[in-house]
Amino acid sequence: MRTLTLILLGLVALSPLAVSAQTAPTKPAASATALPPIIDRDLFFGDPEISGAQLSPDGKFMSFIKPYKGTRNIWVKALNAPFPAAKPMTADTTRPIRGYFWSRDGKYLLFSQDKGGDENFNIYAVNPVETLKAGQDVPTARDLTGLKGVRVYIYNVPKTDPNSIYIGLNERDKAWHDLYKLNLTTGEKTLVRKNTDRIGGWDFDWDDKLRFASRSNEDGSTDILRVDADGLKKIYSAKLGENAGIAGFTKDNKRVYLISNTGNERDLTEVLLMDPESGKSETYEVDPMKRVDLSNMAFSEKTREPIYTIYEDDRVRYLWKDKSFQTDYAMIKKQLPNVDAYFGSHTNDERYWLVSATSDIDPGATYLYDRQTKTLTFQYRPRPKLPVTDLAPMQTLRYKSSDGLEIPAYLTLPKGVAAKNLPLVVFPHGGPWARDTWGYDSFSQFLANRGYAVLQPNFRASTGYGKKFLNAGNRQWGLLMQDDITWGVKELIAKGIVDPKRVGIMGISYGGYATLAGLAYTPDVYAAGVSYVGPSNLLTLLNSIPAYWEAGRKQMYEWMGDPNTPEGKAILTKASPLNSSDKIKAPLLVIQGANDPRVNKAESDQIVIALRDRGFPVEYIVAPDEGHGFARPVNSQAALAAAEKFLAKHLGGRYQESMPDNIAKRLTEITVDPKTVTLAKKVAVSNEAPKPSGNLKAGVYSYKVNLEAQGQNIPMDRTITVAEAGDNLKISDKVSSAMTGEITDEVEVTKATLAPVKRAIKQGPVTIETTYTAEKVTGTMGMNGQNKPIDSKLEGALFADGGGDGLQLATLPLKEGYSTTYRNFDLTQQKTKAYALTVVGKESVTVPAGTFDAWKVEIKPADGSAGSRTLYMATDGSGRFIKEEAVIQGGMKMVSELAK
């Protein structure tokens, strides 16, 4: 019984490489010369040399993540072999692999990957003992799910059937995931439960039998349902503002350990022992110190008994259930004093365990512990070049907010200087339904090394401190939640630790919002702010959240305000920094990922435009190949180089001026001139399709294509063939390359109107066939022998839908100033999508086939969303498109040029 949910939070990537550092402080802090030497930012935020180690189930191998060809990939070595003997298992050059695991039988390494940060994850499998062919560097990474626009969850990795895993797919309904069993060898997906009951999660017992489901009701409450042969039966409920979930089963599978804070008598989350047949429960454990929620509960898969529970207080506390593990832990702690030690990956027989040891001034080391011989053996340090003796201790801090609520916080003071009159950077955590903890933190250490005090407050709405503390933040964005941050600043100023004229604020996600709110609502407190993927308008934020967040939508409305009610809308409007941007007085740096599905790029565009239009200085960085937080080190380091220089300029800390050439180049590429920022406008779309002014001519058109993906160029050949088919025309569009294989998109259209009649797509194991009528699209989407029906109503007539659409668009009456709209059917989203087409001018274009006069045609989504294409259409009446430039998913660029 191992429940894994692949919800990868937007994290800033980390990694090491030493370059010479120079300092350029604008206003050096007092006694700045006593500070330790500047530590290269790459040592904080570059790729770890080795990370994420896991043991194979049989203990023969150790896998880990290490850069390969400049990107983090999976490696494997024999357990007792040296790390240099390891071999790479993957060679992804587009995005780092951040998480993976072994299949139960150790035959496969499984990992998830998205495109450019869009958070639509697919599951890949690698056979580590695959025989490599000539010229093949790594085993083949098979895409087991192979879906577009779908986010895959992993619910269970069954021990009883090691060749399978249970996954969730939101292919049928974007808001809810159906439960499938996935065959790891064939990729075959078998539907287990169709999710028509708002199910957000499934629970399997020790024998991998599906036992429970968690239902999110429309009123925001949660039901735990028992899975019976005749249906789902409710056995427990948590109302809005409460939580309940199953942590595990007793060894006989008869009772469950239930995590709950339900009822007026409970504030802290505790463990109950419940009989699912009768519904009766009793308290198993609550924090004996009555301070914090249960943080974690660990079980032995060998004995099926609990090992320990964890409570995250100012520091972590263990409560041991298994005395033999407690003895082992005491032995480990004796050998590793002054650190927090954590058990990680283990073998099936639980003899070997990986143990990580970290502290506030040390990103840690990983050890192999043998429970049989009681030996602890060092394996690696993720950041061995980081000078830990120069890092600054993190201390706990508690202070009262504006209404008397006690706020727990962490404070990191720069090492080597007196704690007096220091510049401060407040660094609020994201979420906001999360919390900061004691331990190594790259951002606080990075900023402390630059001479700043760093405050990390666990403001109300932070998790872990009980239900009352969490719900004290309800509808308090920008209000009491912001006071909790502001009063922390006041506390440090009153103590003389912080210079009131040199206070900055910086944060990611909600921390980015808190930055904007701090500058807008308390403009006299801050001298500078850095907002990293922070929302500026809470109404547009809630209106653009991903569909698969539906399970938590009502709870978000309770926490933030319901945009569908006058009262809620008023709260959200008031709490949106965009609406108070005229109050901002401090300089602002905004950092954004173009593909962010949580905080859309428009959130940052809006605040940048508002400040720019009032003539206020604002700086803007946008990475086209990132989402909610940057995964690629080249992007994160470029953004942080700009941030530390920005903070030094306005707060007087120091910064590292030098940077490698690739970082400097990337910073130039992702720095946006605020003058160029515009908000996308929606375009009204006609229900009628545009009418061609010329005929689409039969023939063969050849193109050379280049796909640019994260610095890598992939050449492809493209052939479009137009042939007569009675009253219709068949258009076949084939693209092929050594890397992608052959992709064929064939569409049949009427001669007179070019309205689509039917379409067929073939790419490897994926086949799609559709038939069009005036009202709907029907067909099938198949993969590996499994077919899924397509049946969708159209919102208007379609045009230029399918392969060779550029040739179809070339038949329109193009001229200077011409514009129109048209619709396609988006197969990945299963809905109609509209586009706006505009002729923006006439240019001379040179391609392999020669030099041509061409109309320059721009095409953008009519709803103002991201994505664009530029087509160059021949003006000679030949009906050819000469060249196409497109920005596609993940920030990739594709250029097609007429070859002959």
- pLDDT of 1: 32
- Arithmetic mean of pLDDT, 385-405: 96
In whole angstroms, what is the distance from residue 563 CA to residue 573 CA?
9
Supply the angle between the helices 633-651 and 442-449 in degrees, to the nearest 10. 40
Q: Could you tell me which residues are beta bridge partners of residue 88?
A: 75
Question: Is residue 92's pLDDT more than 60?
Answer: yes
Marked catalytic residue, from 56, 112, 462, 509: 509
pLDDT tens figures, 315-357 = 999 999 999 999 999 999 999 998 999 999 999 999 999 999 9
pTM of the entire structure? Answer: 0.75
- pLDDT of 4: 27
Question: Is residue 26's pLDDT more than 60?
Answer: no
- Arithmetic mean of pLDDT, 215-226: 87
In whole angstroms, what is the distance from residue 5 CA to residue 16 CA?
29
Sorted by sequence, the CB contacts under 8 Å of residue 893 that are 6+ apart come out as 707, 708, 885, 886, 887
Question: Is residue 14's pLDDT more than 60?
Answer: no
Ranges 136-140, 519-523, 674-678, most confident: 519-523
**650 catalytic per annotation:** no
User: Which residue in 654, 637, 643, 641 sits closest to 416, CA to CA?
Assistant: 654
DSSP annotation of 47: B
Please give the distance of CA 703 from its chain centroid, rounded to a whole number.
Answer: 35
- Arithmetic mean of pLDDT, 228-235: 92
What is the C-alpha end-to-end distance of the chain, expressed in Å?
Answer: 59
In whole angstroms, what is the distance from residue 322 CA to residue 898 CA?
70
731 touches 804 (CB < 8 A): yes
- Arithmetic mean of pLDDT, 416-444: 95
Question: Is residue 385's pLDDT more than 70?
Answer: yes
Amino acid at position 81, single letter: A
256 touches 274 (CB < 8 A): yes
- Arithmetic mean of pLDDT, 869-874: 94
- pLDDT of 7: 25
pLDDT tens figures, 163-218 = 999 988 888 877 788 899 999 999 899 999 998 888 889 999 999 999 999 998 88
Question: Is residue 296's pLDDT more than 50?
Answer: yes
Model confidence band, residue 551 (pLDDT cutoffs 50, 70, 90): low
Question: Is residue 553's pLDDT more than 80?
Answer: no
**20 catalytic per annotation:** no
- pLDDT of 116: 65
Question: Is residue 8's pLDDT more than 70?
Answer: no
Question: Is residue 456's pLDDT more than 70?
Answer: yes
Question: Is residue 711's pLDDT more than 70?
Answer: no
Q: Indicate the range of 306-310, 445-449, 700-704, 883-887 predicted with least confidence.
A: 883-887
- Arithmetic mean of pLDDT, 141-146: 85
Model confidence band, residue 710 (pLDDT cutoffs 50, 70, 90): low
Please list, residue by residue across 834-871, b when 16 or more beta carbons sit within 10 angstroms of its beta carbon and e when fewer do. bbbbbbeebeebebebeebebbbbbbbbbeeebeebbb
- pLDDT of 109: 93
Beta strands 786-793 and 819-826 are unpaired
Average pLDDT, the chain: 89
Q: Indicate the range of 25-29, 643-647, 798-802, 850-854 predicted with least confidence.
A: 25-29
- pLDDT of 96: 84
- pLDDT of 564: 84
pLDDT tens figures, 488-514 = 999 999 999 999 999 999 999 999 999
Question: Is residue 12's pLDDT more than 60?
Answer: no
In whole angstroms, what is the distance from residue 381 CA to residue 365 CA?
4
Residues in the chain: 900
In whole angstroms, what is the distance from residue 608 CA to residue 334 CA?
53
Question: Is residue 694's pLDDT more than 90?
Answer: no
Question: SS3 string of 547-614?
Answer: HHHHHHHHHHHHHHCCCCCHHHHHHHHHCCHHHHHHHCCCCEEEEEECCCCCCCHHHHHHHHHHHHHC
Q: Indicate the range of 177-181, 662-666, 876-880 predicted with least confidence.
A: 876-880
Model confidence band, residue 709 (pLDDT cutoffs 50, 70, 90): low
User: Which residue in 577, 593, 584 sits closest to 532, CA to CA?
Assistant: 593
- pLDDT of 16: 24
In whole angstroms, what is the distance from residue 25 CA to residue 17 CA?
23
690 touches 822 (CB < 8 A): yes
In whole angstroms, what is the distance from residue 609 CA to residue 617 CA?
11
Question: Is residue 134's pLDDT more than 60?
Answer: yes
Sorted by sequence, the CB contacts under 8 Å of residue 534 that are 6+ apart come out as 507, 508, 509, 510, 511, 512, 513, 514, 515, 516, 590, 599, 603, 604
Model confidence band, residue 22 (pLDDT cutoffs 50, 70, 90): very low
Amino acid at position 754, single letter: L
- pLDDT of 373: 96
The string of DSSP letters for 329-363 reads: HHHHHHHSTTSEEEEEEE-TTS-EEEEEEEETTEE
Q: Indicate the range of 477-491, 528-542, 875-889 predicted with least confidence.
A: 875-889
Q: 27: burial class by Cβ within 10 Å (0-12, 13-18, 19+)?
A: middle
**Strand, helix or coil for residue 54:** strand
Model confidence band, residue 27 (pLDDT cutoffs 50, 70, 90): very low
Marked catalytic residue, from 346, 429, 628, 650: 628
- pLDDT of 17: 23
For residue 684 the two structure tokens come to: 């009204």
- Arithmetic mean of pLDDT, 777-793: 81
- pLDDT of 268: 95
- pLDDT of 784: 60
Q: 419: burial class by Cβ within 10 Å (0-12, 13-18, 19+)?
A: middle
Higher pLDDT, 684 or 21: 684
CB atoms within 10 A of CB 22: 10
For residue 16 the two structure tokens come to: 């090491």
Higher pLDDT, 711 or 224: 224
**Strand, helix or coil for residue 697:** coil
Rg for the chain, CA atoms, rounded: 29
pLDDT tens figures, 55-84 = 999 999 999 999 998 889 999 999 999 999
- pLDDT of 888: 66
Whether omega before 432 lies within 30 degrees of 0, making that bond cis, reads yes
In whole angstroms, what is the distance from residue 49 CA to residue 67 CA?
7
- Arithmetic mean of pLDDT, 877-890: 81
Amino acid at position 868, single letter: S
- Arithmetic mean of pLDDT, 103-107: 93
What percent of the chain has pLDDT above 70?
A: 93
pLDDT tens figures, 791-845 = 888 989 999 999 899 999 999 999 998 999 999 998 876 788 899 999 999 999 9
619 touches 642 (CB < 8 A): yes
- pLDDT of 714: 81
Marked catalytic residue, from 47, 596, 605, 745: 596
Question: Is residue 860's pLDDT more than 60?
Answer: yes
Sorted by sequence, the CB contacts under 8 Å of residue 313 that are 6+ apart come out as 289, 291, 292
- Return phi, psi of residue 32, to 5°: -60, -25
pLDDT tens figures, 576-594 = 999 999 999 999 999 999 8
- Arithmetic mean of pLDDT, 265-282: 93
Question: Is residue 146's pLDDT more than 80?
Answer: no
- Arithmetic mean of pLDDT, 419-430: 97
In whole angstroms, what is the distance from residue 494 CA to residue 486 CA?
12
In whole angstroms, what is the distance from residue 27 CA to residue 31 CA?
12
**429 catalytic per annotation:** no
